[in-house]
């Protein structure tokens, strides 16, 4: 077996054999296939695609490149959620303790933000003392004691994916649906959860801009999960507008706590409840309704226990940025557009995100939203507040908002886009 023959097979629109896939993933993980050779193969896959069997075998080979977790010793069924990323997407924070309060265990392995999309671990690290890095024993103990844990994935899970993901990021092959699906699902299947719900974002602030592409990705991932014995389902959700009223680390934690306290923005509550119900159904848990767990305080109790178990202080004051600047409405009328991507880039430039994975982030930086599409606004009314510790960032951040806001005449009819666009199971 050699890399050139594998590349040629896919270059010429052929089907890779099981042996070719197993060999190239293993050899690349060990360093016997060079980056430039794997980059050529990734580009051939982007251009020529893979059939379902190839994607399934590729995913399985990536899983076998590392270890698999086992939650069979837990007394509760397990359920997990994965989002493809968006702006203001803080759903994991209230969702994990909410599902735990309803009777399922939630082993949530999360990541950090890159570019305009935020990262769950970055958000939680704005809580004083909270730790993302847990040993396997600490993770299992937190699950037993709290029902939920949100932490960083260990290096042993699908190491082939970690190496290939970094390569795709710098070779223009991130968009290949077979590689996206196998990247996400190799980690989630190796994680060992019994049920998985996928939140596939669609719109300007999402990775997938087109509904048809998002549906193809979701269907591919659901099939991979089911083939691996994981009850998997997906919701396609809108990301043309930021989710909730905040984009930024501490800002989003504050909003998540509001949801757990029974309040919070309607769209965040709606999506949290929808995903919670899907997770519980997939895990076979049919008892307490998630809406009741928000009302009676049990979800908040699980949140406080989970944060405390990971070294955090749920009562500590969250960081606040030292400088703020308000963006006002340039005219009166109906706000018909608030571009999610532009808001995400603005928050990133303020210091809430990073351009490279090793860059630091500001806990208090971000964007606070005072009006969402459909609202009637008047000239001079505050629409956004920008937060940062480094005021020299304001001008650059404001450039991202040049075409972000659309205000139409007061009589313009407005029809909101549904938050949940489709369901695939």
In a shared domain, residues 330 and 303: no
pTM of the model: 0.94
Tell me whether residue 186 is one of the annotated catalytic residues.
no
In a shared domain, residues 224 and 348: no
> Is the per-residue pLDDT at 367 higher than 80?
yes
Cα–Cα distance, 150 to 131 (Å, whole number) = 9
In a shared domain, residues 274 and 334: no
How far is C-alpha 207 from the chain's CA centre? Answer: 10
Tell me whether residue 13 is one of the annotated catalytic residues.
no
**Residue 42 near residue 171 (C-beta atoms within 8 A):** yes
Averaged pLDDT of the chain: 96
Q: What is the pLDDT of residues 294-323, one digit of tens each?
A: 999 999 999 999 999 999 999 999 999 999
Q: Is residue 123 included in any domain, yes or no?
A: yes
In a shared domain, residues 88 and 235: yes
In a shared domain, residues 245 and 197: yes
In a shared domain, residues 97 and 161: yes
Q: Is residue 334 included in any domain, yes or no?
A: yes
Q: What is the CATH number of the domain that holds 212?
A: 3.40.1030.10
In a shared domain, residues 86 and 40: no
> Is the per-residue pLDDT at 114 higher than 80?
no
Q: Is residue 67 included in any domain, yes or no?
A: no
Q: Which of 10, 81, 116, 187 is catalytic?
A: 187
Kindly state the average pLDDT of the residues 387-408: 97
Q: Is residue 422 included in any domain, yes or no?
A: no
Cα–Cα distance, 142 to 147 (Å, whole number) = 7
**What is the structure's pLDDT at 165?**
86
Q: Which of 81, 82, 302, 349 is catalytic?
A: 82
Residue 12 is part of which domain span? 3-49
In a shared domain, residues 16 and 122: no
Q: Identify the bridge partners of residue 423 per DSSP, sorted by sequence position.
A: 235
Q: What is the pLDDT of residues 220-250, one digit of tens each?
A: 999 999 999 999 999 999 999 999 999 999 9
**What is the structure's pLDDT at 154?**
82
> Quick one: what percent of the chain has pLDDT higher than 70?
100
In a shared domain, residues 284 and 358: no
Q: Which of 56, 183, 186, 204 is catalytic?
A: 183
Cα–Cα distance, 235 to 245 (Å, whole number) = 21
In a shared domain, residues 83 and 39: no
Q: How many domains does the chain have?
A: 3
Which of 182, 192, 128 is CA-nearest to residue 156? 192
Q: What is the CATH number of the domain that holds 7?
A: 1.20.970.10
In a shared domain, residues 232 and 357: no
In a shared domain, residues 211 and 235: yes
Q: What is the CATH number of the domain that holds 393?
A: 3.90.1170.30
Which long-range contacts (C-beta less than 8 Å, at least 24 apart) are formed by 389-396?
A: 389/321, 389/322, 389/323, 389/351, 389/362, 389/364, 389/365, 390/323, 390/351, 390/362, 391/323, 391/325, 393/349, 393/350, 393/351, 394/323, 394/325, 394/350, 396/349
**What is the structure's pLDDT at 169?**
79
Cα–Cα distance, 226 to 180 (Å, whole number) = 17
Tell me whether residue 168 is one of the annotated catalytic residues.
yes
Q: Which of 80, 89, 122, 161 is catalytic?
A: 161
Q: Is residue 327 included in any domain, yes or no?
A: yes
**What is the structure's pLDDT at 122?**
94
Q: Which of 10, 57, 123, 168 is catalytic?
A: 168
């Amino acid at each position: 077996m050699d890399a050139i023959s594998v590349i040629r097979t896919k270059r010429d629109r052929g089907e890779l054999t099981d042996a070719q896939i197993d060999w190239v993933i293993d050899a690349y993980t060990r360093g016997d296939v060079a980056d430039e050779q794997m980059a050529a193969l990734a580009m051939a896959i982007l251009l020529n695609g893979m059939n379902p069997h190839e994607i399934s075998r590729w995913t399985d080979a990536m899983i076998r490149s590392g270890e698999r977790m086992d939650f069979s010793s837990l007394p509760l069924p397990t359920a997990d959620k994965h989002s493809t990323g968006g702006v203001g997407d803080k759903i994991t924070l209230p969702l994990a303790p909410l599902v735990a309060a309803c009777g399922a265990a939630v082993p949530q392995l999360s990541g950090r933000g890159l570019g305009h999309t935020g990262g769950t671990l970055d958000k939680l690290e704005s809580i004083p003392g909270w730790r993302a890095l847990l040993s396997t024993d600490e993770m299992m103990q937190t699950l037993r004691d709290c029902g939920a844990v949100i932490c960083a994935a260990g290096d042993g899970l699908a190491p082939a994916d970690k190496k290939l993901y970094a390569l795709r990021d710098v070779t223009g092959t991130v968009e290949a649906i077979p590689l996206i699906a196998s990247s996400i699902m190799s980690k989630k299947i190796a994680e060992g959860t019994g049920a998985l719900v996928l939140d596939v974002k669609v719109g300007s602030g999402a990775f997938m801009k087109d509904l048809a592409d998002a549906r193809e990705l979701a269907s591919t991932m659901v099939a991979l999960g089911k083939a691996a014995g994981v009850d998997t389902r997906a919701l396609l959700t809108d990301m043309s507008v930021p989710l909730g009223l905040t984009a930024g680390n501490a800002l989003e934690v504050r909003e998540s706590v509001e949801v757990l306290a029974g309040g919070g923005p309607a769209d965040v509550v709606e999506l949290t409840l929808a995903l919670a119900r899907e997770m519980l159904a997939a895990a076979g848990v049919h008892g307490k309704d998630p809406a009741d767990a928000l009302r009676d305080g049990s979800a908040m109790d699980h949140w406080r226990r989970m944060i405390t178990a990971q070294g955090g202080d749920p009562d500590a004051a969250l960081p606040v940025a030292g400088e703020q600047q308000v963006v006002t409405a340039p005219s009166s009328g109906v706000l018909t557009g608030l571009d999610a991507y532009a808001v995400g880039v603005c928050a990133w430039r303020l210091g809430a995100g990073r351009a490279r994975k090793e860059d630091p982030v500001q806990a208090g930086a971000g964007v606070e939203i005072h009006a969402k599409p459909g609202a009637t606004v008047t000239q001079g009314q505050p629409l956004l507040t920008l937060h940062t510790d480094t005021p020299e960032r304001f001008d650059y951040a404001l450039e991202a908002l040049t075409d972000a806001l659309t205000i139409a005449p007061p009589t313009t009819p407005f029809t909101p886009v549904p938050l949940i666009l489709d369901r695939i199971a």
